[in-house]
Chain A
Amino acid sequence: MTTSTKPPQREEQHKAVKLFPSRLVTAPKGVQGPYKTPRNHVFRDHRKFGFSNIMLVLVVLFLFTPLFVVVGYSFNATKGMRWAGLSLVWYEKLLFGSAELWRAFGNSLLIAISSSMVATFLGSMAAVGIKWYKFKARTYIQITSFLPMVLPEVIIGISMLIFFTAVKIPLGMFSIFVAHTTFNLPFVFLLVSARLEEFDFSIIEAARDLGATERQTLLKVIIPSIMPGVTSGFLMAVTMSLEDFVITFFVSGPGSTTLPLYVYSMIRYGVSPVINALSFVLILGIMLMALSFRRFLKTIAASS
């Protein structure tokens, strides 16, 4: 593997230099020089209470207000929107009276993890194949991996429904798994590709020069350095899979209700405040996830 990952052209090495412009041009602490403006250099027009900062705060408030409202009502003692005192009754109901909801949650988790694992594996491999080697079908794969990200979900959902019906694959957990893997693949591929873009080939040569075998280079140099891309890809895939409603809606069958589908039926056929309690639990889970994976957030932002 390593012999072929070694760049045959000098151009690649050149690229590696260009790929880390910030590393090359940002001044070390205390050094004066004609460097690129450091990131946090205060631009004289950038005021703390300037227009853009105020907008950011307002938009973040806009994003969080609905969540706060739902969380607030989850502690309400009655069903309606009128406040009737603090109570944990909906949490009790969520924990002990919602077997069906938890079954849906279990289905969601099963599909999220299995489809994300497959997508991460296939997507990372393809990213390595396409970034490091040249072959004829590259453009084809790049296009087919880009389109699913931009097509509206309804189209993907319907085309898959028609496909599964046409080839007589029964709708259920398996068809959901296939659909989720399909829409997750492009995102993993993109994230890992972006990581490979920053990959410095000289470290492979350095490892080889220092006496590492091909295997060691792969396990101790290549894999660890693309791992952040792979992890963010997996993370992104899990969240998208847990979140997806539209595509799942089309390709699910009897007995394969996922959490979003269950929430949908709760919204359509009589809202129960159990949704509020569930929302808070989910939001807490997501906050925990964002916190523990905070160093990947920037990579994830770059992909969406």
Chain B
Amino acid sequence: MMDPRESRGRRLGVTYAAPMGLWLTLFFLVPLLIIVMYSFLKKGLYGGVEWEFTLSAYQQMFNPNFMRVLLRTLWVAFISTVITIFLALPCGYAMARSKHQTLWLGMVIIPFWTNSLIRVYAWIAILSSEGFLNEALKAIGLIKESLPLIYNQGAVVTVLIYMYIPFAILPLFTTIDKFDFGLLEAARDLGATKPQAILKVLIPNIRSGIITAVIFTFIPIFGAYAVPLLVGGKDSYMIGNIIVDQVTKTRNWPLASAFSLIITLLSTLGVVWMMTASARESARSKTAPQVVDANGGVV
């Protein structure tokens, strides 16, 4: 059935959406396609590429050095994400329950909006050998020599958690805020203990928020560049640093492209997983029977 209104609507919709679609195609998708192409080309002498098909970039990737960095990056991203989510879950819960939601949101958003380099710099000021923490510990007589708090893996993980915890708290807060706490009450009335109620009622209901939080912490941490560069040592190089070095120092653009492509594919897979998971969830909640009270509201 073709309503004239509908065809006009189609045209209007395209007119409205086309500028953004074109912009993203040109400045996001085309650059990605160029990366795909470059990863199969030969390295140019001073950066750039030569137009010759080769798989050498992919062969170079299987260098044990790179593999070590890749594994380390996965490990750092994993451990930081796990800690971040465990810290962020109770925060999101407490914020959603709070009477002062806007205040707490401000408390999370203000550090989050503060320039990220300023925040990294603040951690350098805290952790460095003559930094705040070491000086404070010396002042109260706990230590005599400065502790090596910075330029190691621990510093990288701490600062990464610090940088990305707001990314986890905000989506968790948003989903928990929509959760009907009466369900927890009901579970308790039906004999569940508090941990049972949280694990079996709250957590399954806020799954989409948890997935969003995981994606938005894991992926950026996986691609972290500035943090390991500024607070990490030789042993904390991450895949982001390797890619940047390939572009700016070694000038091996095909290799940088190949790495970028792998990360892009991994991230996209993560996103697809997230989208299908949340789609499944909404499909499930739609088929679930709804209880309607006398006033027509959904209970």
Contacts and interface: CB of A to CB of B under 8 A. Distances in A.
Interface of A: 1, 3-4, 8, 18, 21, 24-25, 33-37, 40-41, 43-46, 50-53, 55-56, 59-60, 62-67, 69-70, 73, 80-82, 122-123, 125-126, 128-130, 132-135, 137-138, 140-141, 144-148, 150-156, 158-163, 165-166, 178-179, 181-182, 185-186, 189, 239, 242-243, 245-246, 250, 259-260, 263-264, 267-268, 271, 275-276, 278-279, 282-283, 286-287, 289-291, 294-295, 297-298, 300-302, 304
Which of the listed residues B30, B95, B122, B197 has the most CB atoms from chain A within 10 Å of its own CB? Answer: B122
Given A181-B23, A182-B23, A55 B12 contact: no
A297 B109 contact: yes
A35 B294 CA distance: 10
B14 A129 contact: yes
B19 A125 contact: yes
A45 B297 contact: no
Chain A interface, DSSP helix/strand/loop, else mixed:
helix
B110 A145 contact: no
12 contacts: A3-B8, A8-B5, A24-B296, A35-B297, A36-B299, A66-B125, A135-B17, A160-B27, A185-B20, A243-B116, A260-B117, A264-B226
A246 B174 CA distance: 28
A239 B122 contact: no
A294 B253 CA distance: 45
A3 B9 CA distance: 9
Interface of B: 3, 5-6, 8-10, 12-21, 23-25, 27-32, 34-35, 38, 48, 87-88, 90-91, 93-95, 97-99, 101-102, 104-126, 128, 130-132, 135, 162, 165-167, 169-171, 173-174, 180-182, 184-185, 188, 194, 197, 215-216, 219-220, 222-226, 230, 240, 243-244, 247, 253, 256-257, 260, 263-264, 267-268, 270-271, 293-299
A135 B14 contact: yes
Contacts of A56: 90-91, 94-95, 98, 104
Contacts of A297: 102, 105-106, 109
Given A63-B162, A66-B123, A152-B240, 20 more contacts: A21-B297, A34-B299, A35-B297, A56-B90, A56-B104, A59-B88, A63-B112, A67-B114, A69-B125, A69-B126, A82-B130, A125-B17, A140-B21, A153-B225, A154-B243, A162-B34, A185-B20, A243-B113, A275-B121, A294-B102
Contact of A129 (B13, B88, B113, B244): B13
A283 B109 CA distance: 11
A4 B8 contact: yes
Contact of B9 (A4, A53, A246): A4
Contacts of A259: 115
Contacts of B165: 59, 62-63
A101 B64 CA distance: 43
B96 to A, nearest CB: 9
B167 A304 contact: yes
Nearest to B117: A263
A93 B24 CA distance: 42
A130 B5 contact: no
Contact of A264 (B10, B99, B108, B117): B117
Contacts of A65: 126
B267 A151 contact: yes
B241 to A, nearest CB: 9
Contacts of A189: 20
Top 6 A-B residue pairs of the complex, sorted by shortest distance between their CB atoms = A152-B223, A133-B13, A129-B16, A25-B297, A66-B122, A129-B17
Given A44-B188, A150-B267, A25 B298 contact: yes
Contact of A182 (B28, B108, B181, B220): B28
A62 B28 contact: no
Given A151-B219, A279-B122, A161 B8 contact: no
